[in-house]
């Protein structure tokens, strides 16, 4: 019994050690403006990594999703040191509503609060992520960044052959003719297809309108390049989808220049630990251990 208790105590100690290690991993990297007594002008830095979606709060790791991004933006603009913001994007996009909320917040910062927001695209900035990028003052991307995918998509699985092949069926009870129109267990009717396509066309029209207004692209050209295709950063520059070819350091220097800061500006970050950042760090650690998982990939 004594040995069993000692084993339990040892296991608890190991768990506490691992938990403390995780918390250290989740801490944001220190910046040269972290001193609360330092009050000089600075550039704020915020990142959007991975798919964009609404909030999925987790008590252990804090808010995630668009709510976390909005909270970080609010914290940056509330800091009197922050004169401009660099938004670092590495995302294939995500849900429309979350992308629009972040876009609206950036537009407010840029127009109402008069603070420049320079967008820096890393590997990928497509679909909803590009919608967000368009709200910035300027867009910077690497020559090999993947940009664009200006379109809207909705998909579901097709299980219509499952009942015949495996004898497994689905029973649906509903009120409202179209309540189960995205069911995977039956073919969509013609009316349902028209209804869904109407929704997608309306959102696509919003996307194209934003492209025309924010990037100043003539309507015929905007329609041509907004068919869901992707472009390299260099191609995106030719199509006026971005403003400059450059890396994040270039974006930071551009933001500093916009507000008259000479030299490399101090950087302020308000990033908070989140479940998403926790998973990202764990995956990065796994990639470092296993070189087979760290090879480059092309988005589908």
How do residues 117-168 score in pLDDT, each as one tens digit?
999 999 999 999 999 999 999 999 999 999 999 999 998 899 999 999 999 9
Q: Where are the beta strands (DSSP E) in the chain?
A: 42-49, 82-91, 117-126, 138-141, 146-148, 230-232, 244-245, 267-269
The mean per-residue pLDDT over the stretch 70-83 comes to 93
- Per domain, the residue ranges of the chain are 40-149+229-288, 151-227
pTM: 0.78
The mean per-residue pLDDT over the stretch 50-76 comes to 77
Asked if 121 contacts 131 with a C-beta cutoff of 8 angstroms, the reply is no
pLDDT of the residue at 40:
79
Distance from C-alpha of 149 to C-alpha of 147, rounded to nearest angstrom: 7
Would you call 103 a catalytic residue per the annotation? no
- Per-residue pLDDT band for 72 (boundaries 50, 70, 90) equals very high
Catalytic residue among 103, 127, 253, 269: 127
Q: Classify domain 40-149+229-288 at the CATH topology level.
A: 2-enoyl-CoA Hydratase; Chain A, domain 1 (3.90.226)
Catalytic residue among 179, 184, 287, 294: 179
Task: Write the CA distances from 182 to 96, 159, 189, 195, integer angstroms.
Answer: 18, 12, 10, 11
Describe the chain by its helix, strand, coil percentages, rounded to 5: 45, 15, 40
Would you call 297 a catalytic residue per the annotation? no
């Amino acid at each position: 019994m004594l040995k069993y208790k000692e084993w339990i105590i040892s296991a608890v100690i190991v768990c506490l050690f691992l938990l403390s290690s995780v918390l250290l991993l989740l801490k944001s990297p220190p910046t040269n403006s972290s001193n609360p007594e330092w009050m000089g002008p600075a550039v704020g830095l915020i990142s959007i990594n991975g798919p964009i979606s609404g909030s999925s709060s987790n008590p252990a790791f804090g808010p995630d999703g668009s709510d976390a991004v909005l909270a970080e933006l609010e914290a940056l603009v509330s800091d009197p040191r922050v004169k401009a913001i660099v938004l670092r994007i590495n995302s294939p996009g995500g849900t429309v509503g979350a992308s629009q909320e972040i876009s609206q917040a950036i537009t407010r910062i840029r127009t109402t609060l008069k603070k420049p927001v320079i967008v820096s695209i890393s590997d990928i900035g497509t679909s909803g992520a590009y919608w967000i990028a368009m709200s910035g003052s300027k867009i910077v991307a690497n020559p090999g960044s993947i940009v664009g995918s200006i379109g809207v998509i909705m998909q579901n699985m097709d299980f219509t052959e499952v009942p015949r092949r495996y004898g497994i069926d689905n029973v649906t009870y509903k009120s409202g003719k179209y309540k189960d129109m995205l069911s995977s267990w039956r073919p969509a009717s013609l009316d349902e297809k028209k209804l869904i396509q109407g929704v997608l066309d309306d959102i696509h029209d919003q996307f194209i309108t934003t492209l025309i207004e924010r990037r100043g692209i003539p309507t015929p050209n905007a329609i041509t390049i907004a068919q869901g295709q992707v472009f390299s950063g260099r191609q995106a520059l030719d199509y006026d989808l971005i403003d400059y070819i450059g890396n994040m350091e270039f974006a930071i220097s551009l933001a500093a220049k916009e507000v008259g800061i000479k030299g490399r500006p101090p950087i302020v970050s308000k990033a908070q630990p989140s479940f998403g950042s926790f998973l990202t760090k764990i995956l990065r650690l796994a990639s470092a251990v296993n070189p087979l998982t760290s090879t480059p990939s092309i988005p589908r």
